[in-house]
């Protein structure tokens, strides 16, 4: 899949590092559109899309502009990426498995899925843990996670 990823000069290093992690699965063109990625205007994105043959564009989740006219004119779907460039490594690997939103930032869109995955990991580690003792089925000590019995305020 060929993806256009417009970014700002302030975050280009972070974005290129994230793209490098998935370069074997996708062809991603990182293009600097100004100092800050969220200031991307629909006209600028349209010019970039006309300059190449892309399957999708992934804009900053902080962009407030609507890109529906750009989609209609170019035929290329435009999705919201994460609000922060540091979250790109969480979004890019799952592009094949999910369909991002055109209005909701990707990090917000994926928050529920990440929360569920974290819960699954905690349960799996707790099941695999070897405790020092077990009280009524609850693993205590050893490799089990810490249990909070009370909190003093």
Model confidence pLDDT, tens digit, residues 1-38: 899 999 999 999 999 999 998 888 889 999 999 999 99
In a domain, 49, yes or no: yes
**Which pTM value belongs to this model?**
0.73
Distance of CA 116 to the CA centre of its chain: 15
Tell me, yes or no, whether 83 and 116 share the same domain: no
Q: Which of 44, 29, 87 is nearest to 62 (CA)?
A: 87
Residue 12's contacts (CB-CB under 8 Å, 6 or more residues apart) are 30, 32
What range does the domain containing 30 cover? 2-109
Residue 10: which of 110, 84, 109, 105 has the closest Cα?
Answer: 84
Is residue 110 predicted with pLDDT exceeding 90?
no
Is residue 151 assigned to a domain? no
Same domain? For 103 and 119 the reply is no
Instruction: Look at the chain and report how many structural domains it folds into.
Output: 2
| Closest C-alpha among 11, 53, 46 to residue 29 | 53
Is 152 inside any structural domain?
no
């Amino acid at each position: 899949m060929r993806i256009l990823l417009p970014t700002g000069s302030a975050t280009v290093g972070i974005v290129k590092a994230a793209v490098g992690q998935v370069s074997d699965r996708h062809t991603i063109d990182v293009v600097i559109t100004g100092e800050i990625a969220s200031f991307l205007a629909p006209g600028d994105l349209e010019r970039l899309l006309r300059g190449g043959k892309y399957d999708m564009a992934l804009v900053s989740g902080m962009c407030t502009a609507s890109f529906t006219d750009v989609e209609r004119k170019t035929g290329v779907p435009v999705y919201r990426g994460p609000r922060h460039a540091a979250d790109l490594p969480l979004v890019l690997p799952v592009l094949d498995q999910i369909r991002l939103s055109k209005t909701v930032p990707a990090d917000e869109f994926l928050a529920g899925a990440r929360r569920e995955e974290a819960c699954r990991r905690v349960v799996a580690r707790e099941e695999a843990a070897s405790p020092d003792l077990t009280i009524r089925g609850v693993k205590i000590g050893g490799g089990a996670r810490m249990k909070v019995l009370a909190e003093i305020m």
